[in-house]
Chains A and B, each alone.
Chain A
Amino acid sequence: MRIQLKIWRQENRATPGQLANYDLTDVNPDMSFLEMLDTLNERLVRQRERPVEFDHDCREGICGQCGVMINGRAHGPLPNTTTCQLHMRSFKDGDIIYVEPFRATAFPVKCDLKVDRSAFDRIIQAGGFTSASTGGAPEANSMLIGHDVAEAAFDAAACIGCGACVATCKNSSAALFTAAKITHLALLPQGKIESRQRVRRMVRQMDTEGFGHCSNTEACQVECPQQISVLHIARMNWEYNRALF
């Protein structure tokens, strides 16, 4: 396959970036999208040019480190798929592909396609935990949790923190990410006790980081690799209102 790439190149946070053109003539449809970028980078290195910096690690869809905008869509054309799980057979011979970083005020570009998502860590630091110190835990089966409750908590806990929800949102809102953690812990008896304090702190931190508000377009749910439901955002709002009184 022949693929023409237009990739965002930016030296560092302070310098402006621009799209650069690359032409790949020998792309195998079985390559993953990231392996296609590897191939480009190998060529660039051999030409003594600086390769394209992009984030990636596990390459099996679970670590949440990879993530770029591909033709304007977070993680590319397939719904609910991380960038590393996208393969070139999803494109056609001769396609032009635009590759850009996840863009949001709270995710500044570090270099090329790498962005700083540490704001997510700070949202979790604000309250995304149960205050269970090591050593004091009671016998696990002393706390019964219904199958459906555990499954619902899991659905929310499955978030991999990739940031596609923010990148795809026209308001750059982190509502889906924040809500997923709030729901996960609020549903479980061991997390319920701190839920009021948690929701207030995490929402405050989300606002402080410069993420926008949720205006219910539900775009985030379409791109989320873990198919986290926007209903969690409704629950976050409910928990928040409840916590105010």
Chain B
Amino acid sequence: MLNARTPEGPLEEKWRHYRSTAKLVSSANRGKLHVIVVGTGLAGSSLAASLGEMGYRVTCFCFQDTARRAHSVAAQGGVNACKNYKNDGDTIFRMFYDTIKGGDFRSREANVYRLAECSANLIDQAVAQGVPFAREYSGYLSNRSFGGVQVSRTFYARGQTGQQLLLGAYQALMRQVAAGTVMLFPRHEMLDLVVIDGKARGVIVRDMDSGAIERHGGHAVVLATGGFGKIYYLSTLAMGCNGSAIWRAHRRGAFFANPSWTQIHPTCLPQSGDYQSKLTLMSESLRNDGRIWVPKKQADDRAPNDIPELDRDYYLERRYPAFGNLSPRDISSRAAKERIDAGFGIGPLKNAVYLDFSRAIREQGKPKIEEKYGNLFRMYQKITGVDAYREPMRISPAAHFSMGGLWVDYELMTTIPGLYALGEANFADHGANRLGANSLLQACVDGYFIAPSTLPNYLANEIKSGPVAVEHPAFVEGETTVRRQLEHLMGIQGNLPADYFHKMLGLILYDKCGLSRSQAGLKEAIVEIDSLRTQFYADLLIPGGANLNSELEKAGRVADYLELGELMCYDALTRNESCGAHFREEYQTPDGEALRNDQDFAFTSAWEWAGAGREPILHKEPLVFECVTPAVRSYK
């Protein structure tokens, strides 16, 4: 049985108790200890900077050309923190409860409580770094409400909260690079984890500019490599986002938790052609004033403004009168898919729904709407060429956030001692559905506050181990494995580019392991992915050499996706219930809502790699609720 090693004691005492009793490393010894951090988004940058400040030696990698471009930059809306500045009754417990409920009671109580507990401190830290959060005219910090909770706890910096938080962390990281405590390697991609005597001891990386394969050793390895929603090909993620670092760690023994739980975001721009490379996210805040509808008649080809009120179906307002257009993401996305699948979709590909501002413009006036959403309307016009002040936006759901990731215990350590996973790369805090403005928070809290407190508890036992020698046979074996794989991929010389396979995999996953899943569909998907993988290894084509070569980078990532995609299907297949983002068609109420089964499925699925071609092995971490009682999530 998996042990999360959650500290004893009452919920509100656990973190304080842990910090008071965890082992420390004295400042004189920290320079002898070396930590490898992969990824420079909010979690990776903040951890690397914090460890450097403390005096540890840190080596840090990212695949982007500079650390500041990690995909944390793209988060628009805000970051939640429990400050109760609005005096609206916010407490740590309330924030904890909202997050647990939002996750459909599928997350670990102690972790979620700690997230809420550390949130206030993050705002202090970011302000000290110079993050320009929105302010009132009095000079005090401003808040807004977000994602259907009853309090205003979201801090924001216009529509660039992620960018500004990341610049704060990046600048802290740059300060440590200049101080010589952190060695930073941009344009380096981790291709394997090195495990010696059961402990994580280093990584094999590829310099993406020169093609050189390098070995790097350390006393602990931290993966902060983000989510893998790009596995669907069309997603809100950056083109380079990938699951390779965590997948290769999984193949070396780290368990993978809840892989099939992907948040599908309801307000994205629909696909307009087969050349399309991404689905741009439009901030969820648009749903505060926009009304979502489809025509009441199937395949109604009239222009939206020609469809009279009587012929429109405001399906969210109809189905969820209490929350209406502000229903949570999983519910809104599923309702859109239901209408599209039933033949009511709109747009040239019949794959979208309308988001209509005409009433808001009539009632509040165009200048008010412009003030609130001007930048989003401009962005919409830039991409689609359509003026959303005159006709409704077309939106559709798109893959967005991975709630699943490497399984970690309370200390954020994976099942491999010395290997940690932070931020979106782990599975810890969001259960089966993430609340808006909680992703920036989790990445920052993991990197600034949690890992810097839990890593020393492990490193304290490593003071005497001395420098890690990269001549060890495990490093040789790791490097050989990586070289063989690259040569293998280059040597196939078939007829199809890596993107072809990625797009095909995306189609299978959207269809059978996306917004809704069924036993029959998932079984088919496993067979289809298996045959796609066979075709990949027979017909992949990579032109060019082993130096700078984007096609080679893509091929390695797709090879991993083709394994991870199959694991997602196994995960969805074994969970015979519906919860959060996971909707199994066989498990729904008569009116089509998710039917959770707490009796049999109140656990985290943690999968063990059994070897290529073998079925993965399921382990379960029971979820024990001591402070909350799981209830039906109703938004009616």
The CA-CA distance from A139 to B125 in the complex, in Å, is 9
Query: Are B139 and A146 in contact, with the CB atoms below 8 A?
Result: yes
The CA-CA distance from A141 to B497 in the complex, in Å, is 54
Known: A45-B551, A53-B548, A190-B127. A129 touches B278 (CB 8 A): no
- Quick one: which of B141, B178, B385, B548 contacts A111, CB cutoff 8 A? B548
Query: Are B127 and A117 in contact, with the CB atoms below 8 A?
Result: no
Query: Are B275 and A38 in contact, with the CB atoms below 8 A?
Result: yes
> What are the residues of chain A within 8 A of B341 when measuring CB–CB?
none
Binds B, one of A91-99, A130-138, A206-214, A228-236: A130-138
Number of interface residues of B (CB under 8 A): 81
Binds A, one of B5-13, B159-167, B405-413: B159-167
Query: Are A63 and B541 in contact, with the CB atoms below 8 A?
Result: no
Number of A-B contacts (CB under 8 A): 216
Query: Are A57 and B128 in contact, with the CB atoms below 8 A?
Result: no
What string of 1s and 0s marks CB contacts (under 8 Å) between B144-176 and chain A?
000000000000011010011001001110110
For chain A, residues 53 to 94, give those with C-beta under 8 angstroms from any C-beta of chain B: 53, 55-65, 81, 85, 87, 89
Known: A124-B174, A129-B174. A60 touches B281 (CB 8 A): yes
Query: Are A145 and B49 in contact, with the CB atoms below 8 A?
Result: no
> What are the residues of chain B within 8 A of A243 when measuring CB–CB?
none
For chain B, residues 487 to 518, give those with C-beta under 8 angstroms from any C-beta of chain A: 495-497, 499
> What are the residues of chain A within 8 A of B281 when measuring CB–CB?
60
Query: Are B124 and A121 in contact, with the CB atoms below 8 A?
Result: no
For chain B, residues 104 to 146, give those with C-beta under 8 angstroms from any C-beta of chain A: 121, 123-130, 132-141
Query: Are B140 and A144 in contact, with the CB atoms below 8 A?
Result: yes
Least CB distance from B381 to A in Å reads 11
Known: A57-B69, A60-B280, A111-B548. A147 touches B137 (CB 8 A): yes
Query: Are A31 and B239 in contact, with the CB atoms below 8 A?
Result: no
The CA-CA distance from A58 to B69 in the complex, in Å, is 9
Q: Is B74 an interface residue (CB 8 A)?
A: yes
Q: Is B452 an interface residue (CB 8 A)?
A: yes
Binds B, one of A149-157, A164-172, A215-223: A149-157
Q: Is B212 an interface residue (CB 8 A)?
A: no
CB-based nearest A residue for B155: A140
Q: Is B480 an interface residue (CB 8 A)?
A: no
CB-based nearest A residue for B447: A134
- Quick one: which of B163, B499, B543 contacts A62, CB cutoff 8 A? B163
What string of 1s and 0s marks CB contacts (under 8 Å) between A89-132 and chain B?
10000000000000000000011001011101100111011111
CB-based nearest B residue for A130: B130
Known: A121-B66, A188-B132. A134 touches B50 (CB 8 A): yes
Query: Are B550 and A154 in contact, with the CB atoms below 8 A?
Result: no
Q: Is B65 an interface residue (CB 8 A)?
A: yes
Q: Is A203 an interface residue (CB 8 A)?
A: no
Known: A45-B497, A125-B177. A184 touches B130 (CB 8 A): yes
Least CB distance from A224 to B in Å reads 15
Query: Are A140 and B124 in contact, with the CB atoms below 8 A?
Result: yes
Number of interface residues of A (CB under 8 A): 76
Query: Are B129 and A62 in contact, with the CB atoms below 8 A?
Result: no
Q: Is B322 an interface residue (CB 8 A)?
A: no
Query: Are A59 and B278 in contact, with the CB atoms below 8 A?
Result: yes
Query: Are B128 and A137 in contact, with the CB atoms below 8 A?
Result: yes
Known: A57-B64, A60-B280. A188 touches B448 (CB 8 A): no
The CA-CA distance from A65 to B163 in the complex, in Å, is 13
The CA-CA distance from A191 to B129 in the complex, in Å, is 8
> What are the residues of chain A within 8 A of B50 when measuring CB–CB?
133-135
Q: Is A160 an interface residue (CB 8 A)?
A: yes
> What are the residues of chain B within 8 A of A242 when measuring CB–CB?
none
CB-based nearest B residue for A143: B127
Least CB distance from A125 to B in Å reads 4
> What are the residues of chain B within 8 A of A132 when measuring CB–CB?
125, 128-129, 172
Q: Is B311 an interface residue (CB 8 A)?
A: no
- Quick one: which of A63, A110, A137, A144 contacts B125, CB cutoff 8 A? A137
> What are the residues of chain A within 8 A of B73 when measuring CB–CB?
58, 62-63, 160
> What are the residues of chain B within 8 A of A184 when measuring CB–CB?
130, 132
> What are the residues of chain A within 8 A of B53 when measuring CB–CB?
133-134
Known: A57-B239, A154-B132, A190-B127. A42 touches B497 (CB 8 A): yes
- Quick one: which of B64, B132, B175, B448 contacts A150, CB cutoff 8 A? B132
Q: Is B34 an interface residue (CB 8 A)?
A: no
Q: Is B589 an interface residue (CB 8 A)?
A: no
Q: Is B186 an interface residue (CB 8 A)?
A: yes
Query: Are B379 and A56 in contact, with the CB atoms below 8 A?
Result: no
For chain B, residues 38 to 89, give those with C-beta under 8 angstroms from any C-beta of chain A: 46, 49-50, 53, 64-69, 71, 73-74, 83, 85
Query: Are A81 and B382 in contact, with the CB atoms below 8 A?
Result: yes
> What are the residues of chain B within 8 A of A141 when measuring CB–CB?
83, 85, 140-141
> What are the residues of chain B within 8 A of A23 when measuring CB–CB?
none
> What are the residues of chain B within 8 A of A145 when measuring CB–CB?
135, 139
Q: Is B343 an interface residue (CB 8 A)?
A: no
Q: Is A34 an interface residue (CB 8 A)?
A: yes
Known: A42-B497, A57-B240, A140-B127. A51 touches B132 (CB 8 A): no
> What are the residues of chain B within 8 A of A158 when measuring CB–CB?
158, 160, 163
> What are the residues of chain A within 8 A of B272 when measuring CB–CB?
30
The CA-CA distance from A102 to B141 in the complex, in Å, is 39
The CA-CA distance from A191 to B66 in the complex, in Å, is 23
Known: A62-B163, A85-B383. A55 touches B65 (CB 8 A): yes
Q: Is A39 an interface residue (CB 8 A)?
A: yes
Least CB distance from B572 to A in Å reads 28
Least CB distance from A164 to B in Å reads 15
- Quick one: which of A61, A65, A125, A135 contacts B64, CB cutoff 8 A? A65
- Quick one: which of B65, B71, B135, B240 contacts A117, CB cutoff 8 A? B65
Known: A30-B272, A60-B281, A134-B452. A118 touches B66 (CB 8 A): yes
What string of 1s and 0s marks CB contacts (under 8 Å) between A3-44 and chain B?
000000000100000000000000010111011001100101
Binding site for A on B (CB under 8 A): 46, 49-50, 53, 64-69, 71, 73-74, 83, 85, 121, 123-130, 132-141, 157-158, 160, 163-164, 167, 170-172, 174-175, 177-178, 186, 209, 238-240, 272-273, 275-278, 280-281, 379, 382-385, 448-449, 452, 495-497, 499, 541-544, 547-551
Known interface pairs A133-B172, A146-B139, A160-B73; 12 further A-B residue pairs with C-beta atoms within 8 A, sorted by A's residue number: A30-B384, A31-B275, A45-B497, A48-B543, A53-B548, A58-B71, A58-B239, A121-B67, A138-B128, A150-B133, A158-B163, A161-B68
Binding site for B on A (CB under 8 A): 12, 28, 30-32, 34-35, 38-39, 42, 44-46, 48-51, 53, 55-65, 81, 85, 87, 89, 110-111, 114, 116-118, 120-121, 124-126, 128-141, 143-147, 150-151, 153-154, 157-158, 160-161, 184-185, 188, 190-191
Mind listing 21 A-B residue pairs with CB under 8 Å? Answer: A46-B541, A50-B544, A57-B64, A58-B69, A60-B278, A62-B73, A62-B160, A63-B73, A63-B238, A65-B65, A110-B209, A121-B177, A124-B174, A128-B171, A129-B172, A138-B124, A140-B123, A140-B124, A154-B164, A157-B164, A158-B160
